[in-house]
Amino acid sequence: MIKVKLTKNNNYYKRIIITGHANYDDFGKDIVCAAISILVINTVNSLEELVHEEMELVNVETTGYIDCRFPNEISEHAKLLIDSMILGLESIVSQCGRKYLRLKFEEV
């Protein structure tokens, strides 16, 4: 199962942590894992390339671990990109179930 934890402070995202693998199908055929990976990686790339958001990123491909921290309050554009990613992840949960993906929101 993939777990996505989003931490907010005053309605602004501070951290996104992704762990695990979906285990929907065999390695190389796991469409759920691929869909989640595309959403998350595209969002991180967009935050960096399009809105130039300052972030600290750790990515361990072998374990599926991604830790993205925002040391400063993010821009409205960055918030919109993350909200869009969440919308896509929630769609995956509704179509495939919580067996493969869990979203957790935390306010600090």
The amino acid sitting at 58 is V
Task: Look up tokens 């934890």; give the residue.
Answer: 5
If phi over 0 gives left and psi between -120 and 50 gives alpha, with beta otherwise, what is residue 97? left
Q: What is the DSSP string of 61-81?
A: TTTTEEEEE-SSPPPHHHHHH
Active-site residue, 96 included:
no
Q: Which one of 33, 52, 68, 96 is the catalytic residue?
A: 33
Distance CA 99, CA 108 (A): 27
Active-site residue, 68 included:
no
Distance CA 69, CA 47 (A): 12
Positions marked catalytic:
21, 33
